Amino acid sequence: MSFTQSHLKVGELATGHELNVPIFKFTGTDANAPTVYIQANVHGAEVQGNAVIYQLMQLLEQSTILGDIVLVPLANPLGINQKSGEFTLGRFDPITGVNWNREYFNHQVDVQDWYVEHQHLDDAALISAYRSHLVAACQQRLDNPWGITSGHLLAVSLQKMAHEADVVLDLHTGPKSCKHLYCPTYAHDRAKLFSIPYTLMIPNEFGGAMDESIFCPWWQLSEFLRTQDRELPVAVDAFTLELGSQEHIDLHDAKNDALGIMAYFSAKGVIEEHVAPAQMQRFGCYLQDYKKYHAPLGGMVEYKAPLGELLVGGEPLANILRLDKYGTDQVLTSLSLPDDCVPILHFASASVYQGTELYKVMTNLFEL
């Protein structure tokens, strides 16, 4: 066995049962190689990341591992087990309604203040001290004498582990979705390594998600140092990988995504072997060009536009069926968008309220 297994307690149920997440660790041979943290399934229905971790671990067992790799599948036991009828809910904390991926700790480091005490350090020591600060801040959050919500307990426990790594991958899926990657703009050249055709380039803004909670404080540090005439590349990479649709496992496809992650590992020097990225076209889009389309009326939806393919402005996006209007010209409404786009994901259900976020589409795409 080339790995060790442990677990982390992230909560307790009313019956006293412990909520534990499994942790697999592959230990590297080179203390200077980048270290990695990967988690999956923080949203309960987004199960495909577990299959990717399964395929990835099998590949890692055949590889020469340089940097430590920590893998945390099944990262939200409460969300994963939150079933209703045939479906998994698990996107929102059932008590507070908060999205499980908006619970991470926003450090808001006073970098200027912090740097006054640490400016004498060389780059390596500076990075180490900043990392310790982030980990300690998470621990302080967890130790709040007034307690913290179930959502924060889970998220900040995971975040604290993730801060120890140089690379953080958070594996999600969309509702009904093609594959896409959330990539901080400073890491744009790494987007070409994953087996993912569409990349959203995101700015240095904290919205509560895992990837942002990891890279924002480091990006902020690098930007501040530039004002002090000190160049320090952002010391961590953090990405959210959206690996298809929820409630779906595809082991063959998971192998492709595991190989994409291996290509990234290879380029970063996490593994010794050379793994070439998949030959494919990849496109990028800035976050401000990632548009939401909200249903203009309620009803039953026929989703028409295929995901991951160019949709020319004016072509059919979806039909809304309104049987209450049968006998009038409003029984069927054909929807389209004014601009050319690539639909990335759509709502999971075929019935919607007026105002439901029906599609998310990329506009103004460019080739990576």
Footprint on this chain of Zn ion (rule: CB under 5 A) = 43, 46, 172
Q: How far is the CB of 163 from Zn ion (least distance, A)?
A: 20
Tokens of 74: 């099944």
Q: Single out the residue of 290, 353, 345 nearest to residue 317, CA to CA.
A: 345
> Residue 43 or residue 176: which is nearer to Zn ion going by CB?
43
Report the C-alpha dihedral over residues 276, 282, 287, 288, rounded to 10 degrees. Answer: 160
> Residue 160 or residue 180: which is nearer to Zn ion going by CB?
180
Q: How far is the CB of 43 from Zn ion (least distance, A)?
A: 4
Please say whether the dihedral angle defined by the alpha carbons of residues 77, 80, 82 and 83, taken in this order, is positive or negative: negative
Q: At what angle do helices 123-142 and 111-118 cross, to 10 degrees?
A: 130
> Residue 160 or residue 172: which is nearer to Zn ion going by CB?
172
> Residue 46 or residue 253: which is nearer to Zn ion going by CB?
46
Beta strands in 123-179, from DSSP E residues, in sequence order: 167-174, 176-177
Tokens of 112: 């200027």
> Residue 26 or residue 37: which is nearer to Zn ion going by CB?
37
Q: How far is the CB of 172 from Zn ion (least distance, A)?
A: 3
Q: How far is the CB of 365 from Zn ion (least distance, A)?
A: 22
**Residue, CB closest to Zn ion:** 172
Q: How far is the CB of 259 from Zn ion (least distance, A)?
A: 22
- Output the CA angle 89-101-311, nearest 5 degrees: 80
> Residue 89 or residue 297: which is nearer to Zn ion going by CB?
89
Q: How far is the CB of 359 from Zn ion (least distance, A)?
A: 17
> Residue 248 or residue 322: which is nearer to Zn ion going by CB?
248
Q: How far is the CB of 234 from Zn ion (least distance, A)?
A: 24
In the chain, the N- to C-terminal Cα span, in Å, equals 39
Q: How far is the CB of 75 from Zn ion (least distance, A)?
A: 11
Q: Single out the residue of 79, 71, 31 nearest to residue 51, CA to CA.
A: 71
> How far apart (Å, rounded) are the C-alpha atoms in residues 251 and 302?
28
> Residue 47 or residue 60: which is nearer to Zn ion going by CB?
47
Give the max Cα distance, the chain. Answer: 78
102 to each of 152, 339, 345, how far by Cα in Å? Answer: 9, 31, 20
246 to each of 48, 49, 103, 167, 305, how far by Cα in Å? Answer: 7, 10, 20, 24, 19
